A and B are shown apart, each in its own frame.
Chain A
């Protein structure tokens, strides 16, 4: 056989890891969720006059003291993985048989938060801000906007690893001594959480010691002793070994899960955080590569319990000397992901031009599994984007990825990256229907109502769209700012604040601007549908005059039933984004640049800026499901385009054309990240020549202004079979947008969207 230059060794889990992996589901315990909810409610009721931060701290502390902890005799790591994936600010009424698969709709949450916001600001009907908030609530219900507070953080795992909880307690005590009355309760709340964290780790120390006493198997006994010893060290002190550092990171993660919305609690540069411990242990003969691999595998199994949780791990990237840095832990992380093939954690590789070939080979081996990892981020684009936001050079160089693709500074940035998403095609649909949403009839007043047939030129229509986009974008950001102030009042996160730089010092909760960088995100969705729609309107309405705008509006309202010829014209015979056609692609740049200008002008109440994101998580499917027919020929309820990718199936001249189209937009404005997804048939990656070409494609893309790129390697037949026979494909992980997930757990609109993406096969 011909030997591949990109051959890497096969990897498999050790027997002890297999055992943990195969029994992991047994550890999932849903009862934790209603238990936590009840404890918080009771503490809130007991202390009605305290500031929210204190009441939350009391709920957190009591929950940690009471919550069931669990360790199996064969475990490598202490910590209890409980599978909850709901998205909500606490507390809400959580039934005792709560099933995280049926989480509350975002709209329910946002409507409640909007009401609280009105109350907080004393807004009344007739007030301009009141009317805005009411429109906002209705827009969220219609998926014109999506609003999602909190979660999406890069806590300072490296901080607690380098300082230990004890030193943080002492920082808190010093801050308390200096704090004035206004800041005192916030520092107290943080301290209470900080001490609760230490006490919680002590509970595991005791449990592990007790189990070690009883353990019959000598290997298990030794491991339980190691856990007990580790917890003894890290309850207050700093980790002494690689294992202790891993243990501390997991327990800290678990503690964050006990407080925060369990979405996108991301790990930062884990290979950098862990490497000093690895290096020292190996040098002193305490650790082997294989043992370290087992610990990372065990950590991955803990992460895997949190489905759809966007727990992002960043690896690689520029070191202090400006060169790509990879260490054995970087390789272990890629191999652990390849061995286990879970959808969690998400792996993001910071790519540099001097990345060595063996690292590329390891990345390709993982890409070929089809699970969509790693996603590649180019330091040459991401670091300048952060610098543009006023992030200090040292912090910009140390960025990690939050959730999907959002760059943030670990432990220093609270950026609410998912707080707002705007459904761009729905704005176009509203313009064509006197401000009424096609599927609900709800009214959203336009900035400027126009008689469609009075519009004389495409330029006029195009200018109108951009103006309405700014109108709705501005309205949404105004409301996000109103919410920002009330949310920090109602939903503080004192434990997270302990792990974020400067919160103790400033005596401020992280939600109140306590840390160093305090930005807000605003993300666009359905961009390619808008570009294709405008391109179609230009050709069919204004150039060829086949129909008038009002006739097009009528066809859209009928969802193109009875207008199939027109739909065919719009779908097949107009320039589409993603085919390297300037007529379409240039509009993407103009629209994005125009919106970016507005975003640049906005400031939030925490002294931060707004950051623009060109990615869509799974919202392109969810928003599509609620959006009426659009002028690009798309039927109502069909998914919108994923992130900055072309409309599914509309890119017909290959990946270089897609990349060229995307590159015509100045991506430096995407300070909250962007996604470009390419889908390849597995047969494509069978030869070295093709793998070389993929690297050349990535290099060219990055050298020409690209920021992020990711790959799906799966064939359409497999996906269709998985839709038909989910039971046969329980382990099929695919890249959705800025994240991967088990295909069979996705909603059908999302599944259809992934199937419809253009697939590049053997060329």
Chain B
């Protein structure tokens, strides 16, 4: 039986930073973590959402005339205001907006249709050693759909990856494990309390799942974003590194990527009607990145700054 179909925010072709080679990354909407620094805030909620890019808006008022819910108001001084509480994400305003200032984020794909899109770049995957990556949001919140897609991609001969924060029942991993070549697995913080404060959840299950997953023989890339004021202390990285080194399945950790914070996602918050908690942050200093990297290298772990 076909699984329930999740919304997809974006099919990113020529994706180069989500696993090896040239890939297509499929972003599934909905997430059970709420990381302060999230650079894909449009994927936090599972449903379709309206994006408004103020810089592109000319206050022409087209949206006001087509919206059945009276979400949009253009003030006398040319300000475009949105009452998002009324929005039902019908997409009418986005359809008619002549300046692409309004976009409806979230498309439903039947598995066969999604596969067809993914296969369009198959020859690039083959040349570059790439493939497909499912990301989000948290793609593991949709294990049945995900397993079906992964299975179909593998049948088509593709390399498959899943980008996850790992905070799901291990049974979800078991569902996708046979069809997944690589997990991109986030370890964001060591201290449980700080993890809870920054992401809204405990990291206990995340760490346990990683242990189980690597012992089950799955290949993983560990990814740790380096976020000033949230986790940019040597102790955090010392703890994470020694945890990884201690895992019985550590040989399945193929790569550890330290990702310095960037502010590309900040602009998205405003367009989603939210405010960013990291708008003021600067990327971490190179010296700290090197120091953190060294902690891994000292334990003979395959780490790099990405």
User: Which of A's residues lie within 8 Å of B, judged by CB?
Assistant: 1-2, 564-565, 567-568, 571-573, 580, 653-657, 660, 687, 689-690, 692-693, 696-697, 699-700, 703-704, 760, 762-763
Contacts and interface: CB of A to CB of B under 8 A. Distances in A.
29 contacts: A564-B98, A565-B96, A568-B98, A571-B98, A572-B100, A653-B13, A655-B14, A656-B13, A656-B22, A656-B120, A656-B124, A657-B120, A689-B16, A693-B16, A693-B21, A693-B22, A693-B128, A696-B22, A696-B124, A697-B14, A700-B123, A700-B128, A703-B127, A704-B123, A760-B14, A763-B12, A763-B14, A763-B15, A763-B17
Contacts of B127: 696, 699-700, 703
Interface string B268-306: 000000000000000000100010000000000000111
A458 B128 CA distance: 41
Instruction: Rank and list the top 10 A-B pairs by shortest CB-CB distance, nearest first.
Output: A696-B128, A654-B14, A654-B13, A700-B127, A568-B98, A696-B127, A656-B14, A693-B16, A656-B121, A763-B15
Nearest to B126: A700
B137 to A, nearest CB: 17
A157 B290 CA distance: 54
B286 to A, nearest CB: 8
Contact of B16 (A565, A690, A703): A690
Interface string B248-265: 000000000000000010
A214 to B, nearest CB: 56
A560 to B, nearest CB: 10
B95 interface: yes
B96 to A, nearest CB: 6
Interface residues of B: mostly helix, strand, loop or mixed?
mixed
Nearest to B17: A763
A697 B130 CA distance: 12
Given A567-B98, A653-B13, A697 B22 contact: yes
Contacts of A571: 98
Given A656-B22, A697-B22, A762 B17 contact: yes
B33 interface: no
Contacts of A699: 127
Contacts of B22: 656, 693, 696-697
Contacts of A568: 96, 98
Nearest to A580: B120
Contacts of A657: 13, 120
A758 to B, nearest CB: 12
A654 B16 CA distance: 12
Given A656-B121, A660-B120, A704-B123, A696 B21 contact: yes
B11 interface: yes
Given A653-B13, A656-B13, A700-B123, 20 more contacts: A1-B290, A2-B304, A564-B98, A568-B96, A572-B100, A656-B124, A657-B13, A657-B120, A660-B120, A693-B14, A693-B16, A693-B21, A693-B128, A696-B21, A696-B124, A700-B124, A703-B123, A704-B123, A762-B17, A763-B14
A388 B154 CA distance: 41
Contacts of B12: 654, 763
A699 B127 CA distance: 8
Interface of B: 11-17, 21-22, 95-96, 98, 100, 120-121, 123-124, 127-128, 130, 264, 286, 290, 304-306
Contacts of A687: 306
A671 B293 CA distance: 53
Contacts of B13: 653-654, 656-657
A656 B127 CA distance: 13
Contacts of A700: 123-124, 127-128
A284 B39 CA distance: 61
Nearest to B290: A1
B198 to A, nearest CB: 24
Contacts of B128: 692-693, 696, 700
Contacts of A2: 304-305
Contacts of B95: 572-573
Contacts of B123: 700, 703-704
Contacts of A567: 98
Contacts of A656: 13-14, 22, 120-121, 124
Contacts of B286: 1
B120 A689 contact: no
A691 B241 CA distance: 29
B128 to A, nearest CB: 4
A564 B99 CA distance: 11
Contact of B17 (A580, A689, A697, A704): A689
A501 B121 CA distance: 47
A725 B79 CA distance: 29
B297 to A, nearest CB: 12
A760 B16 CA distance: 12
Contacts of B290: 1
Listed residue (A660, A697, A762, A763) with the most chain B CB atoms within 10 angstroms of its CB: A763
A687 to B, nearest CB: 8
Contacts of A580: 120
A693 B15 CA distance: 9
B306 to A, nearest CB: 8
Nearest to A649: B100
A703 B130 CA distance: 17
A581 to B, nearest CB: 10
Contacts of A654: 12-14
Contacts of B304: 2
A20 B285 CA distance: 42
Contacts of A572: 95, 98, 100
Contacts of A697: 14, 22, 124
Contacts of B124: 656, 696-697, 700
A580 B120 CA distance: 8
A660 B121 CA distance: 8
A696 B121 CA distance: 12
